[in-house]
Structure 1
C-alpha cells in the first residue's frame, strides 16, 4: 500500500488560501514547531521579561526559550545584562532551573567556575598558569530595554528594525515611567494549543463579546471590530458617537503631549512585528477593572490624571496594556506543538503598597479571568484543527484582518530563512 508523503513546512504554508487560516498540520507537527522556534524565537527579537524581574544588583531571572536558557541579570552598575545560561567549562547550567534568584556572583554548580555580574570569569581552580580567563566570559545575548520591557535576540545578527520599536514606544511609555515599577502579581498559564493560535486569538476581538465579560466591561463595543452591513439607524448613531468620543479624547490627550495615533509595523517586509495605539476605556476611562476606575490610587510615574486610557502594544510573542495606575505585560514561550506558556505580570508604581494603594483582587481579576477564558478557547480551537474534518474558513475582513496579515508575515519570515 502506498503512503502519501507528508507535505513540507513550505508546502503547508503555500496551501493556505488567501484570507483563510493555516491547515491543521501547521499547528501540530514537530518539524514545523522546531522551525518556528528557530525562526521566530531564536532569530527574531522576543519579549523575555521586565526590568522589575531583576530590581536589585545581583538579581537573576532565568528564562527558557526552546532548548536555550538565558539569564537576565542586574549588574552592580544597575544595568540589565543577558547571558546564555551555559558555563564556559563543560556546559553545565549555571542556574539549574527557570525562575528568579538573588546572587552575589554567578557560580556554576558543577566545578564552581565563578563569574562576575558583568559576565567575566573571576575564578576557575586547577586550570594552570597558562589558562586565559579573559577568553571564557559568559556568552552575552543581544538585549534592548524599552520602557520596562526586556527584549532579547538569540541570533548573532539581530534584526536592526528593533530601532523602530524603540523609537515609537519610548515616548509613549515615557509618561508612565515604567522602570519605576514593581511586580504586584504574576501568573504562568500553560495553554493547550500551538503558539500561533495563542497569538491569533490575541490579535482579534471578534470573540470578545461572547467570552470575555470582565474584559469587555472596559472596552468600547466598536473596538471589537465594526461591520456596517445590515446595521440600523440606532447602531449607526452609536458608531458616530464612538468616533466622536475617540476624537475628543485624542484631542484632549494630545494637547497634553500624550501620543495616541495608531502605529503598525506588521507587513511582510519587517522582522520586528508590532502595533500600538492609545485606546479609550469605557466608563471612567481609567483602567481595565470591573469598575473601569483605577485599581491603584498610586499612579505610575508622576502622573496626575487617571483618565489616560490604555496604551496598547503587541508583537509576535507579547501583548501589553499600560494605564495610568498599572500595566499588564504578557508574553508567550513555546513548549511543544500543542503547549504554550503564557507569562503575565501586573506592574504598579514601585512605592505602591498592597492594601493601602491597591487591592490585589481588583487589580488582577479582569486579566486572570481573561487569560483562563483565552486558554480554554485556544485549547478548543487547537483540538478542532486536528479533526480530519477541519478545513480553514475565511477570516472576517472587519474583525480578523490582522490574522491574515500575521499569516503573510509568518510566510515571509520563513521564506527569508529558506523555509
Structure 2
C-alpha cells in the first residue's frame, strides 16, 4: 500500500517542519516521494549489512539481495575474497542469478550464456564478432567489505568512511569467531510497514512487556539496561558486567558513532541467564569463539539503516532489513552456531530459534498495526518518551539530519 504525498510538500519540507522528539509526519512513513528520497539519499549511499561471511562457505557460494531498484549478487571467489556485483548481465541486462543463494563455479547468464568469472571478468560470449573486446564487459562492481565476519556493501560510487566502524566492530565481534561459525537457521518475513517503523520498533523496549513474553524471560525491558552515555556511564549492573568482561579481555564497553548511526555494547541478561531461550539456559552446548562464560550476556550491535544483532556465548543472531515499498520491509534473520556444532547433539533447533521466531512475528504485528494507524488521516505525530524511547530519538535525529543535509545539497546543485 502506498500513500500519495501532497505535491506541494517535499520530503525536505516535511523534515524541516517536524517536531523534535516526536514521530514523523505521515508522508514520511507512507508517501511514494519520501520512499524514493530514502532510497536515493540513504539506501543507495550508505553501507548496508548483507549477512555473515559463513553464508558464503566455499568458492562459488553466492547470495543475492534487492536494494530498491538494484539487484546485487555477493560471491566468494577462488582466492577466498568476497566481492559484490550488480546482478545484471552486461549483454542485455538479464539478472544473472534469480535464487536467493546457491553455489556456482562461474556466473552464467541464463538468457544467452554469457559467462563471468567469480571476480567479474567476462570469460565467454558466443558469436560476438572479431572486434568484440570482452575486457570492456566485466560485471559492474559494488563496494564490499568483510568486517570481522560480517559483510557490508555500498552502492555509491564513493562510499562513506567506514574506518571507525571497521576498527571497533572487528575487535568487538572477534571473540565470537564468526568465521568459524555456520548458519543453523534462516527466516525471511515481510512486514507491511515502512522501514523506519521497523527500525523504530527495534530501537525501544517500551513495548516489550506487552508484546514479547518469550523475549522478556531473559531480556530486561528496563530502559537502564540499554540506555548508556559512554564507556563509563551506565547503570551499576552494566558497569559491573563491563568490569568483569574487562578482566577477561572481552570487549564490552559502550562505543558509538558520533551521530549514533551505529553503537555496540555487551549487556548482561536478566538474573545471570545465559541465552535467548525459553529456559534461559544456553541453546548450544558448544560455545562460539573464545567467550569465557555462558552468562557473558549479549553483545548488541546496530547499524542504521539496515541491521541489528545479538552475539551471545552460545550463538549469534544477525538481522537485515531491506525496504520493498513505502509500506513493506523484508526482515531476514540468521541464527549462527559454531561450525562444528551438530543439530540434535549440540543443540535443538526449536530451543535455538523459538524466542526470536516468536519475537519477530510479534514485532511484525506491532509494526503492521502501527502502519495501519499512520495511514489514517487522523494520525498526527506524537511525543517520544525521553527515557523509554531514547534509541528511537537517536534513529530519527540521524535520519532527519542526514536527509536534510543531502536533500538541501541536491536542491542547491539544481
Q: Is this a same-fold pair by TM over 0.5?
A: yes
C-alpha deviation, 1:305, in angstroms: 2.3
Relative to structure 1, the CA distance from residue 17 to residue 34 in structure 2 (aligned partners, 3 Å threshold; closer, same or farther) is: same
Q: Does 1:291 align with 2:292?
A: no
Residue number in structure 1 paired with 2:120: 119
Count how many residue pairs are aligned between Structure 1 and Structure 2. 396
Residue number in structure 2 paired with 1:345: 334
Mapping 1:303-342, distance limit 5 Å: 303-316=291-304, 317-342=306-331
C-alpha deviation, 1:302, in angstroms: 4.2
Which of 392, 400, 406 is the equivalent residue of 2:395? 406
Residue number in structure 2 paired with 1:379: 368
| RMSD (Å) for aligned C-alpha atoms | 1.8
Mapping 1:11-410, distance limit 5 Å: 11-95=13-97, 97-160=98-161, 162-223=162-223, 243-265=235-257, 267=259, 273-316=261-304, 317-410=306-399
| Rounded Cα–Cα distance in structure 2 between residues aligned with 1:131 and 1:171 | 47
C-alpha deviation, 1:225, in angstroms: 6.6
Residue number in structure 2 paired with 1:232: none
Residue number in structure 1 paired with 2:230: none
Encode CA deviations 1:267-292: one digit per residue, 9 max, x unaligned.
2xx8xx11111011113332111222
Q: Unaligned 5+ residue runs, structure 1?
A: 228-241
| Rounded Cα–Cα distance in structure 1 between residues aligned with 2:313 and 2:225 | 25
Encode CA deviations 1:154-185: one digit per residue, 9 max, x unaligned.
0101001x111111111111111011111100
TM-score, scaled relative to structure 1? 0.91
Does structure 2 retain, via aligned residues, the 8 Å contact 1:204–1:224? no
Does structure 2 retain, via aligned residues, the 8 Å contact 1:87–1:138? yes
Q: Unaligned 5+ residue runs, structure 2?
A: 1-5, 228-233, 409-414
| Rounded Cα–Cα distance in structure 1 between residues aligned with 2:50 and 2:159 | 15
Encode CA deviations 1:195-247: one digit per residue, 9 max, x unaligned.
000001111111111111111111234346799xxxxxxxxxxxxxx944333
| Rounded Cα–Cα distance in structure 2 between residues aligned with 1:226 and 1:304 | 23
Larger deviation, residues 139-148 vs 375-384: 139-148
TM-score, scaled relative to structure 2? 0.92
Does structure 2 retain, via aligned residues, the 8 Å contact 1:205–1:224? no
SS of corresponding position for 1:418:
helix
Encode CA deviations 1:280-325: one digit per residue, 9 max, x unaligned.
1113332111222210011112444222110000111110000011
C-alpha deviation, 1:133, in angstroms: 1.5
Larger deviation, residues 167-176 vs 407-416: 407-416
Relative to structure 1, the CA distance from residue 106 to residue 195 in structure 2 (aligned partners, 3 Å threshold; closer, same or farther) is: same
SS of corresponding position for 1:69:
strand
Encode CA deviations 1:103-149: one digit per residue, 9 max, x unaligned.
11001112111111111111112122332212211111101111221
C-alpha deviation, 1:55, in angstroms: 1.0
